């Protein structure tokens, strides 16, 4: 009686089942060395190898920018593509906001403290430059003047600008420089990491400031810089040069922190960039201080409206955009910047800037006389 059995053997990436030599399911087979058996075995191996081959798996691109709701983040035309960027949403979202919160508080304090010292040094240098200017005017009167000097023309143009326009010139130059860096393909990964703010990124704090100077779209940058240039004279006349710079930089960080809070609360992670949050602070401050001022849209110069009504419309639009989840703009950052501008011009100026005197006195002692010797008290 013949024994029925199978021997399993591996063949390449496939599997093959063959009969033992000399055994048969139905009876005796030809001898092991016969050509007929070898041919059957060869064909059997080939068929099983082809039959057990696995189809290659198609690698799907990872979409890490998916919120907790499962909806993919829809990219705005104003931000760079993020398909190749890996984000890491924290399993404990509230902890993500701890470091950005302390960075916001610390940076804002340093910004206003530095502005107070800058104002002190600026006033001191103006006194010295007044006497130097008298000497320079006397030398210019006896020195032969050069016609067509390029440097002279640049100085003439610079002196024709208002204090506000001269102040924002450096900010605009920084934005143009960062915009040019976006045009370098080899820098895209670095720019996405440090010049876009996203609570799902590994780098959380420095992008809150650097993204304020970052624009990927030329239209986005041109629109923001035009608004900043238009309101520069008014805001610097209200706050002064040093205080304006502190407010502008702090507004960029604060508006990004509000954006972080909104993204963590809704689970809609995604990168943001642009100076819109800080510019909204400037716009809101001017509109709050001068509510009856007349404004117009560049494309509709004949249609004018009051600054107070414009501010109300902007706040209403950004509030609706944040609630409804509109993704073309970062409406949370816009709203945070606008609310900070209203608060600062109403209360913050009295609470922060007018209480800088102790710091200025301390700096004055360190700068001029040094620490007092002796143990006597004042």
Q: List active site positions.
A: 276, 334
| Cα distance between residue 45 and residue 280, in whole Å | 74
Cα torsion angle, 166, 362, 348, 338, sign: positive
Tell me how long the chain is.
378
| Beta-carbon count within 10 A of 124 CB | 13
At residue 286, the 3 state secondary structure works out as: helix
Work out whether strand 300-306 and strand 7-11 pair parallel, antiparallel, or are unpaired: unpaired
Give the single-character DSSP code of 354: G
Q: Which of 343, 227, 250 is nearest to 288 (CA)?
A: 343
How far apart (Å, rounded) are the C-alpha atoms in residues 258 and 277? 10
Rg of the chain on CA atoms, in Å: 35
* Residue among 253, 272, 273 at smallest CA distance from 179: 273
DSSP 66: B
8 A C-beta contact, residue 359 and residue 117: yes
- Is residue 204 within 8 A of residue 100, CB to CB? The reply is yes
| Cβ–Cβ < 8 Å for 214, 277 | no
Backbone φ/ψ region at 22: left (φ over 0), alpha (ψ -120 to 50), beta: left
Helix (H, G, I), strand (E, B) or coil at 72: strand
């Amino acid at each position: 009686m013949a024994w029925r059995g199978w021997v399993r053997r591996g063949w390449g990436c496939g599997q093959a089942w063959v009969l033992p030599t000399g055994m048969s399911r139905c009876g005796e087979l030809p001898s092991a060395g016969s050509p007929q058996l070898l041919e059957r075995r060869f064909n059997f191996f080939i068929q099983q190898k082809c039959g057990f081959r696995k189809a290659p798996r198609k690698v799907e691109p990872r979409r890490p920018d998916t919120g907790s709701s499962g909806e993919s983040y829809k990219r705005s035309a104003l931000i760079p593509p993020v398909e190749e960027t890996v984000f890491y949403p924290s399993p404990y979202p509230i902890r993500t906001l701890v470091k950005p919160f302390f960075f916001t508080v610390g940076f804002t304090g340093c910004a206003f403290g530095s502005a107070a010292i800058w104002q002190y040094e600026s006033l001191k240098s103006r006194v010295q430059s007044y006497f130097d200017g008298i000497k320079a005017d006397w030398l210019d009167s006896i020195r032969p003047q050069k016609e067509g000097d390029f440097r002279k023309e640049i100085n003439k143009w610079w002196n024709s600008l208002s204090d506000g326009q001269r102040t924002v010139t450096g900010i605009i130059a920084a934005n143009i420089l960062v915009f040019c860096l976006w045009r370098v393909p080899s820098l895209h990964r670095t720019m996405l990491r440090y010049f876009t703010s996203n609570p799902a990124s590994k780098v959380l704090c420095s992008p809150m400031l650097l993204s304020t100077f970052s624009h990927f779209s030329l239209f986005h940058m041109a629109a923001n810089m035009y608004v900043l240039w238009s309101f520069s004279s008014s805001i610097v006349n209200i706050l002064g040069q040093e205080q304006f710079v502190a407010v502008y930089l702090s507004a960029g960080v604060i508006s990004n922190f509000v954006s972080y809070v909104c993204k963590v609360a809704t689970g809609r992670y995604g990168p943001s960039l642009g100076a819109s949050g800080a510019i909204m602070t400037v716009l809101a401050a001017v509109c709050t201080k001068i509510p009856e001022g007349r404004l117009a849209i560049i494309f509709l110069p004949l249609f004018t409206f009051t600054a107070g009504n414009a501010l109300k419309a902007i706040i209403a639009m950004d509030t609706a955009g944040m609630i409804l989840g509109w993704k073309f703009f970062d409406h949370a950052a816009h709203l945070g910047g606008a609310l900070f501008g209203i608060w600062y011009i109403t209360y913050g100026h009295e609470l922060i800037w007018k209480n800088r005197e102790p710091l200025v006195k301390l700096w004055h002692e360190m700068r001029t006389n040094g620490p007092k010797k002796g143990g006597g008290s004042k």
